[in-house]
Amino acid sequence: MLDGLEQAGIAGLEPRDAPGIDPALLELVHPSTLVDHVLAPMGDDERRWIDGDTVMSAGSAEAALRAAGAVCDAIDSVMAGDVDNAFCAVRPPGHHAEPGRAMGFCLFNNVAVGALYARETYGLGRIAVVDFDVHHGNGTQAAFESDGDLFYASTHQWPLYPGTGAAGETGVGNICNVPLAPGSGSRAFRRAMSETVLPALEAFRPDMILLSAGFDAHNDDPLAGLEFRTEDYGWVTAQLVRIAEGLCGGRMVSALEGGYDLQALADSVVAHVGALAGADPA
């Protein structure tokens, strides 16, 4: 990703280091028992299994603190008017982490923490998360589903891990799930966005938009089969930028979720960040 962004030479892009979050802020979403478990000291060669997919090493806790910290720092910069929007090139991802349970490569829910941080710190009334990772963000949905001032919309392959995200899961009217069959491709993705997700987002009238930007629906990704193309990520980002400009002064912070083919990931991130920076999408 970083090599791709450097080579692309996107005008106006300003790289920054991600600071670690104050662990107390994680408790906006997660109980202290989970935070303490993830942050418990580890030996250099130790491994801690969170679930069958998710294993921590000695560097994982700091990475997780910086991942959530990046999102909050980006929110600070956007709210200060210091930048127009931001992309957080972080790992571990976050959208599978439920309030009380880390899972699926995710330790803390970076965007959910960011949403509640933005509300708490800046008094924003309504925060929306749009998630185009190939997997459903069960953790974000779980954190948001009973709070009508938070909105979560997701396109994802169905059936697929983690098994949530049926169209009938609507929370208190603030959850919008669009499951897509394997092989759906670009046209079905753009239709799902244009006809369902983006109108629901506009109707919600957010004060800030956060993105769970996973790129594992790409045709070259080994984990799933939605067969999206690199250009789709530029397209969807441009649509979201347009809506953010219309509704909330362009305030948007994007955080990386999945993406497991490194070349497809780099290319997709360049398309995404290029559109965030205002480049014309392909």
Residues composing the chain: 282
The minimum distance between CB 17 and Zn ion, in angstroms, equals 25
Which part of the chain contacts Zn ion (CB under 5 A), choosing from 48-56, 80-88, 186-194, 214-222?
214-222
What is the C-alpha to C-alpha distance for residues 100 and 162, in angstroms, rounded to an integer?
16
Near Zn ion in 220-279, by CB under 5 A? 258
133 near Zn ion, rule: CB under 5 A? yes
Closer CB to Zn ion, residue 212 or residue 250?
Answer: 212
Closer CB to Zn ion, residue 97 or residue 244?
Answer: 97
214 near Zn ion, rule: CB under 5 A? yes
The minimum distance between CB 228 and Zn ion, in angstroms, equals 12
218 near Zn ion, rule: CB under 5 A? no
Backbone φ/ψ region at 166: left (φ over 0), alpha (ψ -120 to 50), beta: beta
Contact 78, 85 (CB under 8 A): yes
218 is catalytic: no
171 near Zn ion, rule: CB under 5 A? no
Closer CB to Zn ion, residue 84 or residue 216?
Answer: 216
The minimum distance between CB 214 and Zn ion, in angstroms, equals 4
* Residue 91, number of CB atoms within 10 A of its CB: 18
* Residue 6, number of CB atoms within 10 A of its CB: 12
Contact 129, 212 (CB under 8 A): yes
Most distant CA atoms of the chain, gap in Å: 50
Output helix, strand, coil percentages for the chain, rounded to the nearest 5: 40, 15, 45
135 near Zn ion, rule: CB under 5 A? yes
The minimum distance between CB 216 and Zn ion, in angstroms, equals 4
131 near Zn ion, rule: CB under 5 A? no
Closer CB to Zn ion, residue 23 or residue 179?
Answer: 179
The minimum distance between CB 105 and Zn ion, in angstroms, equals 8
What is the C-alpha to C-alpha distance for residues 30 and 190, in angstroms, rounded to an integer?
34
Which part of the chain contacts Zn ion (CB under 5 A), choosing from 108-116, 127-135, 160-168, 263-271?
127-135
Binds Zn ion by CB under 5 A, chosen from 98, 216, 221, 232: 216
Residue whose Cβ sits closest to Zn ion:
258
Closer CB to Zn ion, residue 55 or residue 172?
Answer: 55
Question: Of 96, 136, 156, 272, which is the active-site residue?
Answer: 96
DSSP string, 231-282: HHHHHHHHHHHHHHHHHSTT-EEEEE----SHHHHHHHHHHHHHHHTTPPP-
Closer CB to Zn ion, residue 126 or residue 136?
Answer: 136
Regarding beta strands 208-213 and 54-56, do their DSSP bridges make them parallel or antiparallel, or are they unpaired?
Answer: unpaired
Contact 231, 282 (CB under 8 A): yes
Contact positions toward Zn ion, by CB under 5 A? Answer: 133, 135, 214, 216, 258
Instruction: Name the residues annotated as catalytic.
Output: 96
